[in-house]
Amino acid sequence: MKAGVIRDPKIQKYLPWLGALAIFMQALDGTILNTGLPSIAKSLGESPLEIQSIIVSYTLTVALLIPLSGWLADKYGTKRIFILAVTIFTLGSLFCSLSDTLSELICARIFQAIGGSMMVPVARLTLIYAYPKEKLLKVINFITIPALIGPMLGPTAGGFLVEKFSWHWIFLINIPVGIIAVMMARSVIPNFTNKVGKFDLLGWILFSGGLTAITLVIERWNSPRISLFQLVLLLILSLILIFSYIIYARKKPNPLIKLNLLKITTLRIGLIGNLITRFGVGGMPLMVPLLLQVGYGYSAFYAGLMMIPQAFSNLISRSFVVPIVKRFGYRNTLVFNTILTGMLISMFFFISKNTPYWVVILLMIGNGAFNAVQFTSMNTISLADLDNETSSDGNSLLSVTQQLAISLGISISAMFLILFKNSNIGLSSDNISVFRYTFLVMGMLTVFSSFIFTKLDKNAGANMSGKRVYKGEEK
């Protein structure tokens, strides 16, 4: 089936719900895992401040395989690949629950990520193919609202399962949801296809190799198993591979990642903004649960309860994204919201052992609200000027950027956490101090990232925000 607007009322009604279900699975998996990290670390004999590899292995694998997902979906059909993706993700969740060592868990997470790399991107690509531009913002905003049930249930459910049973059980929740998604996909999702050429294997090796090497440098800089010389070699290798891909992509007619897509201004700025902004914001899902459990000493279940206000705030704020963007435009919304998000993250610096718990909750509520505006706006402006010919490649590039940024954001926050922990700059001995300085750095990175959005035209994304433009002016 060729891409085009779907007229079938059944598909129009239930397709967004299927997309929401796919995002729900990933959101539930991520939030449950974040809450359970200290318990996993204790069970496996690892430090809770140095166990981020469980998350990074997943997000990095997803980033590396997303380009393949777009090619597979276009060649074999969105329906076939989506069902395959959900099946692999569900089996990976089962393997994670059966893991008994850190190495086994990381391997299972990588297998799970193979499905995750296709599941959400293919669902979103299907929506791009199925709906006209003027409806796409509302559809994308809608699919994130039911998905936020995952972050609301995840932390509390994860904390309860970890305390009452074992951390192995936190992955089993994905299995019934995965079965429902497969059954629903069989009758709801269209099997869109597009004409594609041969997969760019050499380009994928150069691209994925460069990303893997740079992530390992950030991830393993403090490991006693790797020397400074080896780190420098990895950094040099990553730069060589990345620049080699740039040269290669400019010469190849149909490369893995088409660099000429970056000529689309909204896509280019949206991607760079996604990447840089998430350097600061991306570490929050790791930092907050660790702060509550390692810093404040809360139990996993109580920490999970503390995360609900943030998720609920995020859910409520989604309904305000469309009117905010319509009123102020993408440029103003993203510039000011990014600054406010960074300032709020920096405010975590002022917490201490004696800070009332309700102050932390207020900060988390604000973080959830600003994130709702930030992520929806960044994602939709990136897609604003894509057409049927560029949708697949642009969507894949956006997904790669998001996952890479999340992976780097987690690695960067963990890096600063360890740096401050091992520093001799006079930090107090309590565990909260190292978190405070890490939050300050993350907030500053986020504030600085607002500069990229000043490069947007004031009318950027008008076809998605609902603004009408006449003779270059907004009305």
Distance of alpha carbon 108 from alpha carbon 99, whole angstroms: 8
CB 192 within 8 A of CB 50: no
Tell me how many domains the chain contains.
Answer: 2
Residue 136 lies in a domain: yes
* Residue range 22-68, pLDDT digits in tens: 888 877 777 777 778 888 888 877 777 667 778 878 878 887 887 78
Range of the domain at 307: 9-199+256-474
Specify if 4 maps to a domain. Answer: no
Give the list of residues 6+ apart from residue 429 with CB closer than 8 angstroms, or none.
none
354 with 250, same domain: the answer is no
Q: Are residue 79 and residue 147 in the same domain, yes or no?
A: yes
Residue 3 lies in a domain: no
Strand boundaries in 41-149, DSSP class E: none
Find the largest Cα–Cα distance for the chain: 65
The stretch 301-315 carries a mean pLDDT of 81
Same domain, 405 and 363: yes
Instruction: Among 255, 282, 300, give the residue marking a domain's end.
Output: 255
Kindly provide the residue ranges of all beta strands, DSSP E only, lying in 170-288, ordered along the sequence. none
Query: Does residue 192 sit in the same domain as residue 231?
Result: no
Residue 323 lies in a domain: yes
Of the candidates 420, 456, 425, the residue with the CA atom closest to the CA atom of residue 439:
420
- Given a contact cutoff of 8 angstroms between Cβ atoms, the answer to whether 304 and 36 are in contact is no
Instruction: Look at residue 368 and tell me whether its pLDDT is greater than 70.
Output: yes
Report yes or no on 248 lying in a domain: yes
Q: What is the mean pLDDT of residues 225-253?
A: 84
The CA distance from 153 to 159, in Å, is 10
Instruction: Give the per-residue pLDDT at 424.
Output: 56
Residue finishing a domain among 236, 255, 274: 255
pLDDT value, residue 341: 92
Residue 466, pLDDT score:
55
pLDDT digits (tens, 9 = 90+) for 442-459: 999 999 989 999 888 887
- Give the pair of three-digit tokens for residue 239: 């730069």
Return the pLDDT at 392: 66
- Of the two residues 243 and 44, the one the predictor is more confident about is 243
213 with 73, same domain?
no
Q: What is the pLDDT of residue 73?
A: 84
Question: Is 281 part of any domain?
Answer: yes
- Name every residue whose Cβ is closer than 8 Å to that of residue 471 and which is 6 or more positions away in sequence: none
Tokens matching residue 92: 């990976």
Concatenate the DSSP letters of all residues of 319-333 into one string: HHHHHHHHHHHHHHH
Residue 392 CB burial class (10 angstroms; 0-12, 13-18, ≥19): buried
Note whether residue 132 is domain-resident: yes
pLDDT of amino acid 469:
47
Q: Say which CATH number the domain at 413 has.
A: 1.20.1250.20
Same domain, 116 and 24: yes
The gap from C-alpha 237 to its chain's centroid, in whole angstroms, comes to 26
Is residue 224 pLDDT above 70, yes or no? no
Q: Which of 220, 235, 255 is the last residue of a domain?
A: 255
Do 262 and 314 reside in the same domain of the chain? yes
Q: Tell me what the mean pLDDT of segment 122-134 comes to.
A: 77
226-259 burial: b if 16+ Cβ within 10 Å, else e = beeeebeebbebbeebbebbeebbeeeeebbbbe
Statement to judge: residues 232 and 290 lie in one domain: no
Greater model confidence, 109 or 407: 109
In this structure, are 370 and 393 located in the same domain? yes
Is pLDDT of 470 > 90?
no
Q: Is residue 70 included in any domain, yes or no?
A: yes
Q: How confident is the model at residue 475 (pLDDT cuts 50, 70, 90)?
A: very low
Both 133 and 227 in one domain: the answer is no
* Average pLDDT over every residue of 280-303: 81
Same structural domain, 315 and 337: yes
Helix (H) or strand (E) holding 75: helix 53-76
Return mean pLDDT, the chain: 80
Instruction: Please give the pLDDT value at position 220.
Output: 67
Same-domain status, 368 and 400: yes
Rounded Cα distance between 58 and 219, Å, is 13
- Taking a C-beta distance cutoff of 8 angstroms, is the pair 184, 18 a contact? yes
